[in-house]
Structure 1
């Protein structure tokens, strides 16, 4: 698990349990692990596990929320308000893809194993997707960055969700093709997708 995720967790044992969940879910899949596996990997007792989580599902969902939160922070921190929004989006996506590619176990958990959790997983996944939509809507807008003479931007919430869904599918395809480490190569395609949905061109600077 990345340091950026660790920084939002205030318990050493909780960190170790989430690290163990990430490693095991990435290697075996969520369905193939037990609480006994998790505590063995983390080097803690079952009692310690239950001090932090009600069960395996709660542990996995906590990991998903922490990892997603770290990825979203990377997106937001990569935005530079002195650039046109098109370049802000490209910079943010480049940082986001690099962040995700750096931890294949967490990447698989976020995009593959979450589907094993049924409705609780689907609800949390939708929550995170909406946060990404909100990020896009706040970044892709007229006046966000100096773009003299730029055409009006038209990015609706529906189109923003389409962009998020498309980017997620690109990431999933890369995982399935064994190319998770090459996620940054998706930056031009993902940026072009957002520009197309926003009906905007790259500005001339």
Structure 2
């Protein structure tokens, strides 16, 4: 996965933009954990992969776990961007769900090793990792809620959905569990199989809003 960031383009001591250093560190972390796994990855590995100094690492992060959280949040934003670009509120939400789910799982499947790190290792970081996971899940749930509620009715001319925040979070939790199950069963490289059940889940939960 290529990690994009939105850090401001400030100049560092070498004249290279600070956001470039930050982005390279996230890429370095991604390559290191893909090669060795998070537990075996050291800060030396990260800076070597990023082609920056240890000093540069500590200008942005205080610990290895802080860098992982930043990577997790950046990768999650890119996954959400992929979904957002695939979802067109001008069309019925019912017809948009499968396309959005396909975009999401296609993005996640790009790097199965890193996917495992982002979905599993983040849970081993204690409260900071859980807080990051909550922030990401809240952002995804908010997008789902706004996207579905802002779309027109279903493909058969039915009414538009009114998804509550709790129902949107139910969808996020269900999709996360499907991904975790695939990782546990060594099927992370074929997440396309999750498109159908995830699509059914979103449609079923949204359909409850009509009752």
TM-score for the superposition, normalised by structure 2: 0.83
Alignment of 1:111-126 (within 5 A): 111-126=119-134
Structure 1 equivalent of residue 13 of structure 2: none
Distance 2:35 2:198 in 1: 28
Q: Secondary structure at the match of 1:199?
A: helix
Distance 2:169 2:89 in 1: 23
2:189 aligned with 1:181: yes
| Structure with greater contact order relative to length (CA < 8 Å, sep ≥ 6) | 1
Structure 1 equivalent of residue 4 of structure 2: 6
TM-score for the superposition, normalised by structure 1: 0.85
Distance 1:119 1:12 in 2: 29
User: How far apart are 1:33 and its partner, in Å?
Assistant: 2.1
Q: Which runs of 5+ in 2 are unaligned?
A: 10-18
Structure 2 equivalent of residue 79 of structure 1: 87
Q: 1:51 aligns with which of 56, 59, 63?
A: 59
The two structures, once aligned, show a CA RMSD in angstroms of 2.1
Distance 2:95 2:126 in 1: 37
Structure 2 equivalent of residue 89 of structure 1: 97
May I ask how many residue pairs the two structures share in their alignment?
Answer: 197
Distance 1:20 1:112 in 2: 19
Q: Which runs of 5+ in 1 are unaligned?
A: 201-205
Q: Answer with 177-186 or 22-31: which moved more.
A: 22-31
Alignment check: 8 A CA contact 1:23 1:105 kept: no
Distance 1:39 1:7 in 2: 18
Structure 2 equivalent of residue 99 of structure 1: 107
Q: 2:147 aligns with which of 134, 139, 143?
A: 139
User: How far apart are 1:181 and its partner, in Å?
Assistant: 1.9
Q: Answer with 151-160 or 56-65: which moved more.
A: 151-160
Taking a change above 3 Å as real, the CA distance of residues 63 and 18 of structure 1, as seen in their structure-2 partners, is same
Distance 1:31 1:102 in 2: 21
Alignment check: 8 A CA contact 2:79 2:104 kept: yes
Q: Answer with 118-127 or 144-153: which moved more.
A: 144-153
Distance 2:126 2:139 in 1: 20
